[in-house]
Amino acid sequence: MPENQFRWREYFPSVIYKNPLSEEKRALAKEFRKTPTPKENEVWQWIRNRRMFQLKWRRQQPINGYIADFYCAEAHAVLELDGEVHNNAHAQEYDAQRDHSFVSRGIRVFRMKNEDASYENVKALMKYIREFTSPPNPLSSMERGNGDTAISSINRGNDDTFSPSPHWRGGDVAVGDRGGEV
């Protein structure tokens, strides 16, 4: 590896490479990859193989005992798609626990409701994540334009749509979408 290349394993070794995982959880993640929800499958087709902003995403990635819908190691980010099952109190409590678990590992959690996960919104989020993980632009903000263009199409005042905050409520619970609770 060239000396100037960033070494992700040195900074984030425990998420993928040293992640203790039960065989049951490993099998569950594999099953989730085989039978994604329709919206997860749609989003996966847009972001797989570095199709958006050269970000490498993994599907149904086990992290700290939970399974994230999508995980990008280079951005240290999780993308969660929230369906109807996330609207009940039990699901929201579970979501808060898993978000806390991700945040405690330095992972930023991004959430979108299924109905808001359009191609344009996912693309805007990927652009935001790419800019967040890229080295700073040496040009001034005036020379490169307004920095808010990446999320201009998203209603930023509505917490139910999108939030770049790692402390935003929500999470993935496999209730209803996959016929049982994880």
Contacts of 156 (CB under 8 A, 6+ apart): 162
Distance CA 179, CA 166 (A): 28
- Domain presence at residue 72: yes
Distance CA 36, CA 168 (A): 24
- Domain presence at residue 12: yes
Distance CA 81, CA 70 (A): 9
Distance CA 64, CA 68 (A): 10
For residue range 127-143, list pLDDT tens digits in order.
999 987 765 555 544 45
**Count of the separate structural domains present in the chain:** 1
Written as one letter, the residue type at 118 is: S
CB-based burial, 41-53: b 16+ in 10 Å, e otherwise: ebbbeebeeeebb
- Which has more pLDDT, 49 or 83? 49
Q: Which CATH number belongs to the domain containing residue 144 in this structure? A: 3.40.960.10
Q: Which domain holds residue 83?
A: 8-151
- Domain presence at residue 158: no
For residue range 95-107, list pLDDT tens digits in order.
999 999 999 989 9
- Domain presence at residue 79: yes
Lowest-pLDDT range of 2-16, 58-72, 92-106: 2-16
Distance CA 181, CA 66 (A): 12
- Domain presence at residue 181: no
pTM: 0.66
